[in-house]
Amino acid sequence: MNTVHTWTAIAAVVITSTAGDVLISRAMKQVGHVGEVLRRRGLRGLLGMVLTNKTFLLALACMTLSFFSFLVALSWADASLVVPASASLAFVTTAVAAKLFLHETVDRRRWLAALLVCAGVAILAI
């Protein structure tokens, strides 16, 4: 399968997975510390809270799309190419999205970490 096909699938994985990660992070912050929720409400209570959270369901939709794009990409290229390549770009896009949409403090250390991992993952991919 040619490289254009592979990289189109990878781009689809990056966009949907970034949206999914941001939404899921927001959903879990709404749910609260999993350990504490487990202690107070039990497993059933926790599952109920997570599975009825609208942000979580939206995130799940994004991740489902991401997963099937990923399966298609895997059938065209090596896992050690597809996984790092899609993730490499996703490290930078999620760092930006976390700052913009989740108002996380992305300090110099986290930018450096995101860039190092992105570079490392890109080198894995090329």
Partner 1 sequence: MSVRKQLVLMATVVFGALGNVSLSHGMKQIGAISAARWTEAVSALLNPWVALGVLLLLAFFAAYLSSLSWADLSYVLPATSLGYVLLALLAQWWLHENVTPRRWVGILLISCGVAVVSRAPALTRKSRPEAAQAEVEVTVNS
- Binding site residues, partner 1, CB under 8 A: 1, 5, 21-22, 24-26, 28-35, 37, 50, 68, 71-72, 74-76, 78-80, 83-84, 87, 90-91, 94-95, 98-99, 101-107, 109-110, 112-117, 119-126
* CA separation for the pair 11, 86 (Å, rounded): 7
**Closer residue to partner 1, CB minimum distance, 15 or 26:** 26
**Closer residue to partner 1, CB minimum distance, 61 or 124:** 124
Contact between residue 24 and residue 63 where contact means Cβ atoms under 8 Å apart: yes
Contact between residue 6 and residue 76 where contact means Cβ atoms under 8 Å apart: yes
**Closer residue to partner 1, CB minimum distance, 57 or 116:** 116
In a 3-state reduction of DSSP, which class is residue 52?
coil
CB of 110 to partner 1, least distance (A): 5
Closest CA to 3 of 69, 88, 83, 77: 77
Burial of 17 (0-12, 13-18, 19+ CB in 10 A): buried
CB of 63 to partner 1, least distance (A): 8
**Closer residue to partner 1, CB minimum distance, 44 or 103:** 103
CB of 100 to partner 1, least distance (A): 11
Looking at this protein, which amino acid is placed at residue 80?
A: S
CB of 15 to partner 1, least distance (A): 16
